[in-house]
Structure 1
Amino acid sequence: MSESHTSIFITGVTGYIGGSVLHRLLQHPSAKTFDITALVRSSEKAKKLESFGVKAIVGSLDDYDLVEELTSQAHVIFDTADADNLEAIRAILHGTRKRHATVGDLPIYIHTSGTGELTDDARGNKTTDVIYDDLNPDQIESLPDTAFHRNVDLEIVAADKVGYVKTYIILPSTIYGIVSNPLVEAGIQNPQSIQIPMLIKASLGRKQAGMVGKGVALWPDVSNDDVADLYIVLYDAIVANPDKVGHGREGYYFGENGEHTWYSISRAIGEAFVDLGISTDPEPTSLTDDELIKYFRLSGASPIFLQVRRSI
């Protein structure tokens, strides 16, 4: 590999976010200089990825030695697969440390977390005026260590502080939009999100739009196109002028361009149900504890439906 090429390792390319990021890397003005390696679980999808010029390795995030080795071979890591697999993230960090020690490189690690880190336990029954700002690291550091995704993010920031890797954490919010690109057409990428479809499926099961509590919990939202663009904008900024791009404790980036209450989503589901003849009443009703267990496999509210402090 020539010095003019950039080695990239990316996880999660068959997913909603990762596939969109990979598509943008393949369309990037510097795409001819990218040597992209992707980790995928499916040998069939690995073969399809090869036709896009991507080196695809079959394995999972739980293959820690493999993850470490692949990471050690890359200057840039886009991690879009699992925000809460601590051992896999440790393998990635071990790989960046190995690369730094043996090659002298300072890897760029862009990790995917989520605004679930900002949730509290209002369970849909209250709102808040607190706004979290990704330009305010002191405010972010005030989050409890027990917050959703927080244990992983703290370990990533700690690695940056040691100095063998520069870390950047993107926190998408509720992502919406149906993806259409060649990776979807090839059967490689999942084209739809998780959060709202999960609520739709639960509502279909009860034949009435459902919500947690009163549905007044706030959540930021962002389109798939915008959040995928964020990864590329961030990467380009790092390459162009790394000293001006916050990393480590200053390297949190919220993916957000609006907000909604969960009532508004559930009401829209209810109106669609009436139009489709599934229900006669568009007004959503509160999910019972039994329904939360049945449809979301937990007692209490799923993190995506809890109160969230706004982000900017």
Structure 2
Amino acid sequence: MDSVKQNTPFTFLNILRSFRPINLLVIGATQFIIYQFYFTQEAICPFLGLKGYLLLPFILTTMLIAACGYLINDFFDFKGDLINKKKYKLSNPVVYLKIYFTLLILGFVISLWIALELGNPFLALIYILANAVLFLYSSHLKSVPLIGNIIVSLFSSFVILILVIFEFDYITCVFEFDDALAKFNIKTILFYSIFAFFISLSREIIKDMEDVEGDKKMDVKTMATIHGIKISKSYASLFLFFNIGLSSSWIYKLNGLVENSLIILPILLLILPQIVLLAFLTKAKVKTDFSKNSFLAKVCMLLGLICFTLYTL
């Protein structure tokens, strides 16, 4: 009995960790913050379908898509994660599948209900398609260099762009109304989705370099195992350079809409952290270095969200 009592909370915590709860909270918070700050022009465009009781269930379905993606990825990566000495793995990979299908069905039911409430049942197909792509990624596409990285990075953009898809009538109305500030806010949403994509893409390549030892033993084909650390670093750095340029262009456009004294903050929140990440990446050599760089890339994305939220016009 004592051994059961000791093992049960440990197992429960491992199951909880397999959901990546912090990542899920970031996803949920991102959607909630963007919706509350950017979808605000009800006076000129009263077409907000998710406003009110549908918003939180909608965010929950996005979090369930991500959770299912993590679970099915852990199932297919079970042996590789043991070699890479990943912490908090469940002892039986079948458990991942059981939880995966439970959450998959739950998410579909909620997404179908939301779609019916909005009068467009075809919107539920987005949930099915997103899960299908993440399943294919974990089972096959993850081992295709760069393509697998791109798919994961697209999901980072998907978290934001799915709001645009579900509120397309509102977006169309804003652009037809010809309000400069409202247009800038919508363009900022699109910009952040691109920003999130390239930060995620750099981070995914960094994670490949972090896991290169285990991936080689498992014969997993990633950019790091095929082309080596040096070329992988070059690609990750290239995407960071592009993102720094993209961030600079957004700040340049912002400069014409706010006081010059307010421009220093987005430089500190957007540009500087990416430059620091780029500098650390060039010096990274061992697994722990790449692990720190991966965490720093997450910080860059979070600071980007804070910056874009603060400068909602």
TM-score (norm 1): 0.29
Between structures 1 and 2, the one with greater strand share? 1
